[in-house]
Chain A
Amino acid sequence: MPAVSETRETVEKLAKSNYEWGFETNVEMDLAPKGLNEDIVRLISARKKEPQWMLEWRLKAFRAWQEMSEPNWAKVKHPPIDYQDAHYFAQPKKKDGPKSLDEVDPELLKTYEKLGIPLHEQEMLAGVEGAGQKTPVAVDAVFDSVSVATTFRKTLAEAGVIFCPISEAIIEHPELVKKYLGTVVPVADNFFSALNSAVFTDGSFVYVPKGVRCPMELSTYFRINARNTGQFERTLIIAEDQATVSYLEGCTAPQRDENQLHAAVVELVAMEDAFIKYSTVQNWYPGDENGKGGIYNFVTKRGICKGDRARISWTQVETGSAITWKYPSCILAGKGSVGEFYSVAVTNGHQQADTGTKMIHLAPDTRSTIVAKTISAGQSDSTYRGLVRMQPKARNGRNFTQCDSLLIGDQCGAHTVPYIESRNMSARIEHEATTSKISEDQLFYCRSRGFSEEEAVGLIVNGFCREVLKELPMEFAVEAQKLLQISLEGSVG
């Protein structure tokens, strides 16, 4: 789902869609040959005009990746992935790079239009009907791996915030990138993060300096556009002491036949008293009704609360992708730091999701909260997998975890796999999980008030997810509710 498109029109479009965003744009692509080897890594680095240190970093990751094998512990099934049968670099062809939006390939603009992004800054502010005074949102749109336009650069620059494609940051702010890239998710952390480190093409870079509250919500969204191109996004967000930033990530992908691999890495660094809020609405193509096609979403997201009293909050609404493998985590290294994870995962059709979080408490007085809501319908499988670890120094650490699963239909599965490890006696961990179906009483109540069965289910599901949805920024929350309803279409009756 795109960031802000709560116009009537979009809503109508959403309501009738099976998968509304299933179109494909014909923009001439600059494709690297299929396959993955050191030459491809060198090619990507050269195309991005990267400095030598970056190339070396990539090569190190590539060599580590070659030694690793694909993880197999997640509760997902898929045919083996041939990593040599994909293009690792695809760039929309452009002449000298657009100076303004007028120069941008009209096809590209059309795609944005279909997505419902008013890219022009003025329209961005005023474009939403009857919205009144809206909080401005800055968009860094990623069109198949290359950021095409970034808005609001000026306002942000005045506040001292750096918000740009990471490829640009590597060239313009190498000292920052060098200092933080790979510190939260080391290159060889896991199979997919190593792959990403070797071949990532672009992503976002955010730096919020000391004491600055970012003047607007930052937003990026990704589209996978060309056939057979895996997309490897890399995001790095740094909030210095007392800085605050809220970042939105939303995504759509065109409909296609072949499974596509998406292995993103997101790293967050929060210093003393800093607050990073990272919200995701993920609605990639889940495959058709027979489970064919769809995106493989193997993501590594991790944040570190480095400074005392730092806070990182992950909120996610996962409705898309054929397979989701995603565990946004918090390392609570600063005294009194706080980690939060709010998640709604909806699976329908033949989707599979194995998602959850890790809360690693390293320091005293650290707190974490996990609220995970899982909804399974159709023939899908959904798993919550989470780890809470209190290390010996996590004196007075606190964790509260709540996992609730809702099953719709008898062909689906919902699973909960929490790992709870305590090495400190004064730490307190509480975990609860429930699994149930929609109660007949609630359904009957809604039906007796004149709602159709599908509306009633939508209403109940939204109620079930309320605790999570309320954590989303306003615009996102509205869309997420609609999305939930759409995702469950065809699952009842």
Chain B
Amino acid sequence: MSENSAAAWQALTGRAGERAALLGTEGLPTRRVEAWHYTPLQSLNGIAWQVAPALDDAAVKQRIDGLNLPTHDGLLVFANGRFCKGLSHLPACMDVQEYGDGSAVQPLLAGRFSAGLNAALRQPGARLHVPVGKDAGLIVMVSLTEGNGVSTHLHHSITLDEGARLTLLDIQLGEGQYLTNPQMDVHCAANAHLSHVTKQVESREAARLAIVGACIGERGNYDSFTLNQGGVLARQEVVSQLSGSFSNTNVNAIQLVDGSRLNDLSSMIHHASPDCTSRQTVRTVLSENGQGVFQGKILVDQIAQKTDGYQMNQALLLSEKAQMNSKPELEIYADDVKCSHGATVGALDEDQLFYLRSRGVLEEQARDMLVQAFLLETVELVEHESLRDYLLKALPGHV
């Protein structure tokens, strides 16, 4: 394998030491690997990714102050792959628990390159635990990365006991040409509810291979929303398994792709129990030379009768050079199910533009309005009000 001799591969396997086996032997995935067909990683090959150096707390604090965070009940800060204890605080009802590699999420992520990379180079991240019946409110987690040719591989785990609730705002940002590879393991016990909002605004030169694995118990709910906006090549991968009956998961996302960047939302929703529901809306707006990728699979096991799964992905192309690749996938082994998916790709509707223009709206404004309307519907799926407002501010042209 020629990739094996690439600088990136040598550096990463070197850093992994005896855990290098977890990376496999194939090198960074190329176009030939089905899961990475639209997002090949060759561009990462030339860089010998090093451990990111520690950052100064004061500088980190300055960055966080500039974020205008919504009112929150707890804050966790990570800078260049290290926990900044002095800048973090948690509500009283939460505790930090050690979680080993034997968690239930591991098998879910087996064979996925992003998870393998994280397993090989893992750095301890957040270990959050919300006890039975508690509502931990809104916790903000900020991961900042700075530097060139460096990489971070944080491993977080969030555990919600029976009936527990948590809203997590997960902000990822940085400066420079770095690689981030965070993994989050989510365990929602029966009746637990995790609302997970990821705002990904990494540096425009950064590469990002993020992965979330969620296991959801009976009547539990994992509701995820991703704003995928930064990075020169950024994949957000969500694997959500409905392990208990009557559970629900939402995997929604907005992708804003401009410049010569590539944003990728890949998801797998696994119905492993009967009577579960899943909903997915992914909207991508592409301008300039942007490339958008959506790969979404709904897998329904034979046991998962009465499944109700719905998936919609829509892309808006605003420039001649932009391109969108979608692969919505259904894999179904149960017969009493209701599963559907829809996909559309196209430009702005000329009729709608004309309507606005005929009402005296300037062309540029009219375009902005239509783009905003396209995105708004998805942001409105976020239940938490102040979070929703926070996200709206991040959209182009501020709705």
Q: Do A and B come from one complex?
A: yes
Chain A positions near chain B (C-beta within 8 angstroms)? 73, 390, 392, 405, 407-437
CB distance from A121 to the nearest CB of B (A): 48
Contacts of B302 in A (CB 8 A): 410-411
State in angstroms the CA–CA spacing of A418 and B333 once bound together: 18
Taking CB atoms, residues of chain B closer than 8 Å to A411 are: 302
**Given known A-B contacts A425-B322, A435-B332, A417 and B340 have beta carbons under 8 A apart:** no
Q: How far is the CB of B57 from chain A (nearest CB, A)?
A: 46
B90 within 8 A of A: no
Stretch from B39-47, B152-160, B253-261, B323-331 at the A interface:
B323-331
Q: Residue on B with the closest CB to A435?
A: B339
B279 at the interface (CB under 8 A from A): no
Residue interface mask B2-38, A partner, CB < 8 A = 1 = 0000000000000000000000000000000010000
Q: How far is the CA of A430 from the CA of B326 in the complex (A)?
A: 11
Q: Which secondary structure dominates chain B's binding surface?
A: strand
Task: Tell whether A436 pairs with B338 under 8 Å between CB atoms, given A411-B302, A429-B346.
Answer: yes
CB-CB under 8 A from B347, the residues of chain A are 425-426, 428
Are B337 and A422 closer than 8 Å at their CB atoms? no
- Residue contact A414 to B329, C-beta cutoff 8 Å: no
| A431 close to B318 (CB less than 8 A) | no
In the bound complex, do residue B326 and residue A408 qualify as a contact, i.e. CB atoms below 8 Å apart? Answer: no
Query: Main SS of the interface on chain A?
Result: strand
Which residues in B have their C-beta under 8 angstroms from that of A420?
324-328, 343, 345
Write out the residue numbers on chain A whose beta carbons fall within 8 Å of the beta carbon of B327. Answer: 417-420
Inter-chain CA distance A422–B292, complex, in Å, is: 10
Q: Given A410-B335, A437-B336, are A429 and B323 also a contact pair (CB < 8 Å)?
A: no
Cross-interface CB contact of A418 among B317, B318, B324, B328, cutoff 8 Å: B328
Q: A419-B326, A421-B325 are in contact. List 20 more A-B contacts (CB 8 A).
A: A390-B345, A407-B332, A409-B335, A410-B302, A413-B331, A415-B331, A416-B341, A418-B327, A419-B325, A420-B326, A420-B343, A421-B326, A422-B315, A422-B325, A427-B345, A429-B345, A430-B343, A432-B341, A433-B330, A434-B339
Q: How far is the CA of A426 from the CA of B347 in the complex (A)?
A: 6
Enumerate chain A residues within 8 angstroms of B335, measured Cβ to Cβ.
407-410, 412, 437
Bound form: Cα–Cα A66–B323 in Å: 36
Q: B358: CB under 8 A from chain A?
A: no
Given A418-B328, A419-B325, A429 contacting B344 (CB threshold 8 A): yes
Q: Which size bracket describes the interface of B in this complex? A: 20 to 34
Shortest distance from the beta carbon of B268 to any chain A beta carbon, whole Å: 13
Is the C-beta of B101 less than 8 angstroms from some C-beta in chain A?
A: no
Chain A hits for B340, CB < 8 A: 432-435
User: Smallest Cβ distance from A182 to chain B, in angstroms?
Assistant: 25
Q: Give complex CA distance A436, B339 in Å.
A: 7
Hey, which chain B residues are within 8 Å of A430, CB to CB?
Answer: 342-344
* Residue pair B344, A418 in contact (C-beta under 8 Å): no
B contact residues vs A (CB 8 Å cutoff): 34, 302, 305, 315, 317-320, 322-347
A195 to B191, CA, bound (A): 57
Question: How far, in Å, is B384 (CB) from chain A's closest CB?
Answer: 31
Contact A421 B336 (CB under 8 A): no
B330 touches A435 (CB 8 A): yes
The residue on B at minimum CB distance from A404 is B340
Chain B residues near A409 (CB, 8 Å)? 335
A-B pairs, top 8 by smallest CB distance, nearest first, are A425-B317, A407-B335, A428-B346, A431-B343, A420-B326, A434-B340, A416-B330, A422-B345
Q: In whole Å, how far is B312's beta carbon from the nearest beta carbon of chain A?
A: 9
* A429 CB to nearest chain B CB (Å): 4
Q: Given the complex, which residues of A lie within 8 Å of B326, measured CB to CB?
A: 418-421, 431
Q: Please judge, given known A-B contacts A418-B343, A422-B345, whether A392 and B332 are in contact too, CB under 8 Å.
A: no
Note all chain A residues with C-beta closer than 8 A to B319. Answer: 425
Are B336 and A410 interface neighbours, CB within 8 A? yes
In the complex, chain B residues whose CB is within 8 Å of the CB of A424: 317, 320
How long is the Cα–Cα vector from A421 to B327 in the complex, in angstroms?
9
Closest chain A residue, CB of each to CB of B294: A420
Q: How far is the CB of A325 from chain B (nearest CB, A)?
A: 16
Rounded to whole angstroms, the CA-CA distance of A420 and B284 in the bound complex is 14
B323 near A407: Cβ-Cβ < 8 Å: no
Query: Measured between alpha carbons, how far is A431 from B327 in the docked complex, in Å?
Result: 11
Interfacial chain B residues near A417, Cβ < 8 Å = 327, 329
Cross-chain contact of A437 among B315, B333, B337 (Cβ < 8 A):
B337
Complex CA distance for A431 and B340, rounded to whole angstroms? 11
| Structural contact, B320 and A407, CB atoms closer than 8 A | no
Nearest residue in A to B310 (C-beta to C-beta)?
A: A434
Report Cα–Cα, A420/B335, bound state, in Å.
Answer: 26
CB distance from A405 to the nearest CB of B (A): 7
Please tell me if the beta carbons of A429 and B343 are within 8 angstroms of each other in the complex: yes
Given A427-B345, A428-B347, A436-B337: A415 and B332 interface contact (C-beta under 8 Å): yes
Bound CA–CA A422/B286 (angstroms): 11
- Shortest A393–chain B CB gap in Å is 11
Bound: A420/B329 CA distance, A: 11
Across the interface, which residues of B come within 8 angstroms of A407, CB to CB?
A: 332, 334-335, 337
The distance from the CB of B235 to the nearest CB of chain A, in whole angstroms, is 17
**Quick one: which of B335, B338, B342, B346 has the most chain A CB within 10 A?**
B335
Closest chain A residue to B303, Cβ basis: A410
Indicate if the CB atoms of A422 and B332 lie closer than 8 Å. no
A436 CB to nearest chain B CB (Å): 6
Q: For the complex formed, measure the closest distance between the CB of A371 and the CB atoms of chain B, giving whole angstroms.
A: 15
Q: Which of B305, B318, B328, B346 contacts A433 (CB 8 A)?
A: B328
Contacts of A435 in B (CB 8 A): 330, 332, 337-340
Residue of A nearest to B316 (CB): A425
A432 touching B342 by the CB < 8 A rule?
yes
B288 to chain A, nearest CB (A): 11
Between-chain CB contacts (< 8 Å), 5 pairs: A409-B335, A415-B332, A420-B324, A435-B332, A435-B340
- CB atoms of B345 and A423 under 8 A apart: no
Nearest CB of chain A from residue B286's CB, rounded to whole Å = 8
Among B317, B323, B330, residue most surrounded by chain A Cβ atoms (within 10 Å): B330
Instruction: Take A407-B335, A425-B317, A437-B335 as given contacts and tell me if A415 and B330 are in contact as well, using a CB distance cutoff of 8 Å.
Output: yes
Query: Please, which residues of chain A bring their CB within 8 A of the CB of B323?
Result: 421-423
A73 with B332: CB separation less than 8 A: no
Q: Which of chain B's residues have a CB closer than 8 A to the CB of A416?
A: 328-330, 341
CB-nearest residue of chain B relative to A384?
B330
Smallest Cβ distance from B177 to chain A, in angstroms? 27
Determine the distance from Cα of A426 to Cα of B315 in the docked complex, in whole angstroms.
12
Residues of A within 8 A of B333 (CB): 410, 412-413
Contacts of B34 in A (CB 8 A): 73
Q: In the complex, what residues of A have CB within 8 A of residue B345's CB?
A: 390, 420, 422, 427-429
Q: List the A side residues contacting B342 at CB < 8 Å.
A: 430-433
A434 to B298, CA, bound (A): 12
Report A418 CB to chain B, min CB distance, Å: 6
B29 to chain A minimum Cβ distance, whole angstroms, is: 15
Q: Which residue of chain B has the shortest Cβ distance to A434 in the bound complex?
A: B340
CB distance from B344 to the nearest CB of A (A): 5
Instruction: Determine the residue in chain B with the shortest Cβ distance to A401.
Output: B343
